[in-house]
Amino acid sequence: MSTHVSQTPGAGIAAALSFDALTPTAFLDRAAAVHADRTAVIDGPLRLTYRELHLRCLRQAGALAGLGVRPGDRVAVLAANTPLLLESHFGVLYAGAVLVTLNIRLSAEELRHIIRHSGARLLLFDPEFAELAAAVAEPLEDLRVVDPGEYEALRADAAPHRVPVTDERALMALNYTSGTTGPPKGVMYHHRGAYLQALAMVGHFRLTSEAVFLWTLPMFHCNGWAFPWAVTAAGGVHVCLRKVDPPRVWQLIAAERVTMLCAAPTVLISLVEAAPAAFDGHRVTVAVGGAPPSPTLLQGCARVGFDVTHLYGLTETFGPAAICDWRPEWSALPDDEQAPLRARQGVSNLVSSAMRVLDADGLDVPWDGETIGEVALRGNTVMLGYYRDEKATRAAAPDGWFRTGDLGVLHPDGYLQLRDRAKDIIISGGENISSIEVEAALAGHPAVLEAAVVGVPDDRWGERPVAFVTLRPGAQASAEELRAYVRGRLAAFKAPDRIEFGELPKTSSGKIRKVLLRARADVG
């Protein structure tokens, strides 16, 4: 009889010993145990401890279950940076449901498209968006809209509830793109990606229980770059802010001893301009994304106590996929040499696979800082795909590498720097504007024959749209009339700042030559 004893445990025992499905709700579970009595949330006079936040989120899950929400159902939330949106980043997940955060800047028509496409069964909203929520829901018979008062009562009375996560790559959230190539696409987030992205943000920004994070970044955008979970993982403080009001931001920075915030360059410009004359001297870590910060902006940030780190990413990558990881030796360089380094997109974050820059044949370009290619990404923090759009998913990742549509170079040290965009995306104030979408809106006006939209540099917003329009023979329409027409169909910030009339330059095949329009717009 053999006396050999296997050294390999049974599959069931091994799984129990060495595997837990990764999910960002685990961060709140730990924070409630380790930091129970520490402040978790500040929202004006409201103060919540981690024990209280944890219970609110578990009861939100119970309230959702009581309303008929089942695992896999989509729950939409229309809110600014408030406790409702923060707790939904945990409570909806505790319920086993899928979180759909809605961009409060979109029109009712745009939001209805997202609700329909996502299949959301239930809508939660903050009181300040009651009118918008009603307009969104009016024609949607299958959508249950929960009044804020009803929601508060249901949550207060609900029993704590939790649906265990068994598949860490299951759908956890749907984040909709800004429609940069047509209608918005639903980007599918998974538990594993959110968990790891949060850890990357904790590591890169050295978040600890002493962190005080001010919510200047919209929490609805890429789930706040995973910072709802990252700050919670560290046991830090979330300071809610409904809208970016520079004097209020500076007031909170001083009163709450804020240590970190995230923002687009346009927000930083407004903060630098509104900085108090007598700054108290404490430093604030700032993560900036959406567009490279200019040298002038970086100098202004340093002057007011902001230590800026540039990030790069997309909705499809859970937010920041790359970080301009600062090398200590660069600090000895003159300011005019530091600024271009800080403005680079950088290197992959802690949990991302290495970035690639590919030529037209899908081959890596040399790391020479000159050869341009398309940025490609893959790894644990890349989306599952586009919801209900296999064709778009295959087109975006033809060989297992997600094509970002951004063109850039790799420097000899491996740092990425963007040069241009393959798609005609206009980034204005950190928000993406699709030129195709605006062109389609303009073309809907009965007087318009053709329209082309390009982005031009703007000192405040980074970029702004300019439209070139050809009117139908005999038709008349003013620039202001067309802008009002666009504003009636799209979010107001997407309307062109300037509209010029005339024939559009075209190639021999009839394609509009946008390069000439950009040059014309720059001169205008």
46 shares its domain with 186: yes
Is residue 266 scored above 80 in pLDDT? no
46 shares its domain with 107: yes
Identify whether 503 is part of a domain. Answer: yes
- The CATH number linked to 376 is 2.30.38.10
- For residue 17, what pLDDT is reported? 83
Identify whether 59 is part of a domain. Answer: yes
147 shares its domain with 48: yes
> What are 305-363's pLDDT values in tens digits?
999 999 999 999 999 999 999 999 999 998 878 878 888 899 999 999 889 999 999 99
Dihedral pair phi/psi, residue 513, rounded to 5°: -90, 85
388 shares its domain with 482: no
CB-based contact 125:79 (threshold 8 Å)? yes
59 shares its domain with 169: yes
Question: Mean pLDDT over residues 26-48, rounded?
Answer: 98
Q: Which of 265, 275, 216 lies closest to 242 in space, CA to CA?
A: 216
**Residues β-bridged to residue 431:** 428
How much is the mean pLDDT over the chain?
90
Q: 3-class DSSP state for residue 304? A: coil
| Six token digits for residue 486 | 């666009």
Q: Which amino acid is at 418?
A: L
515 shares its domain with 380: no
Domain boundary among 150, 177, 192: 192
What are the Cα distances from residue 57, in Å, to 34, 64, 233? 17, 11, 15
Domain boundary among 362, 390, 421: 421
Identify whether 329 is part of a domain. Answer: no
- Can you say how many angstroms the Cα of residue 368 is from the centroid of all Cα atoms in its chain? 31
DSSP string, 340-394: HHHTS-BEE-TTBPPPEEE-TTSPBPPSSS---EEEEE-BTTS-S-BTT-HHHHH
Q: Which amino acid is at 33?
A: A
Q: Which of 327, 423, 320 lies closest to 379 in space, CA to CA?
A: 320
Is residue 518 scored above 60 in pLDDT? yes
> What are 140-173's pLDDT values in tens digits?
999 999 999 999 999 999 999 999 999 999 999 9
HSE (CB half, 13 Å, CA atoms) of 235? 14
Look-up: residue for tokens 């200019």? 294
- For residue 4, what pLDDT is reported? 45
Identify whether 293 is part of a domain. Answer: no
438 shares its domain with 407: no
- Report d(CA 231, CA 238) in Å as an integer: 7
CB-based contact 519:489 (threshold 8 Å)? no
DSSP string, 422-469: SS-EEEETTEEEEHHHHHHHHHTSTTEEEEEEEEEEETTTEEEEEEEE
- The CATH number linked to 469 is 3.30.300.30
Look-up: residue for tokens 């040069």? 419
Its pTM stands at 0.82
458 shares its domain with 486: yes
126 falls in which pLDDT band (50, 70, 90)?
A: very high
Is residue 10 scored above 60 in pLDDT? no
| % of the chain surpassing 70 pLDDT | 93
- Report d(CA 462, CA 464) in Å as an integer: 7
Dihedral pair phi/psi, residue 297, rounded to 5°: -65, -40
Q: Which of 218, 264, 223, 258 lies closest to 238 in space, CA to CA?
A: 258
406 falls in which pLDDT band (50, 70, 90)?
A: confident
| Six token digits for residue 521 | 């717009």
130 shares its domain with 171: yes
- For residue 65, what pLDDT is reported? 98
Identify whether 494 is part of a domain. Answer: yes
Residue with more model confidence, 185 or 372:
185
484 shares its domain with 405: no
CB-based contact 61:215 (threshold 8 Å)? no
| Six token digits for residue 175 | 């984040």
| % of the chain surpassing 90 pLDDT | 70
Dihedral pair phi/psi, residue 175, rounded to 5°: -115, 125
415 shares its domain with 436: no
Identify whether 187 is part of a domain. Answer: yes
Q: Which residues contact 105 (CB under 8 A, 6 or more apart)?
A: 431, 491, 492, 493
> What are 416-433's pLDDT values in tens digits?
988 766 656 677 887 878
Q: 3-class DSSP state for residue 60? A: helix
Tell me the torsion sign for CA atoms 191, 192, 197, 199.
positive
CB-based contact 471:449 (threshold 8 Å)? yes
- For residue 408, what pLDDT is reported? 85
Whole-number CA gyration radius for the chain: 24
Identify whether 226 is part of a domain. Answer: no
- Report d(CA 376, CA 266) in Å as an integer: 27
Q: What 8-state DSSP symbol labels residue 49? A: E
> What are 437-488's pLDDT values in tens digits?
788 789 889 898 888 898 888 888 888 999 999 898 899 999 999 999 999 9
- Domains contained in the chain, number: 3
Q: What is the dihedral of CA 167, 169, 175, 176, to 10 degrees?
A: -120
436 shares its domain with 410: no
- For residue 420, what pLDDT is reported? 61
- The CATH number linked to 163 is 3.40.50.12780
Dihedral pair phi/psi, residue 337, rounded to 5°: -95, -25
Identify whether 50 is part of a domain. Answer: yes
Is residue 291 scored above 90 in pLDDT? no
Domain boundary among 171, 192, 213: 192
- For residue 8, what pLDDT is reported? 45
State the residue range of the domain holding 357: 347-421
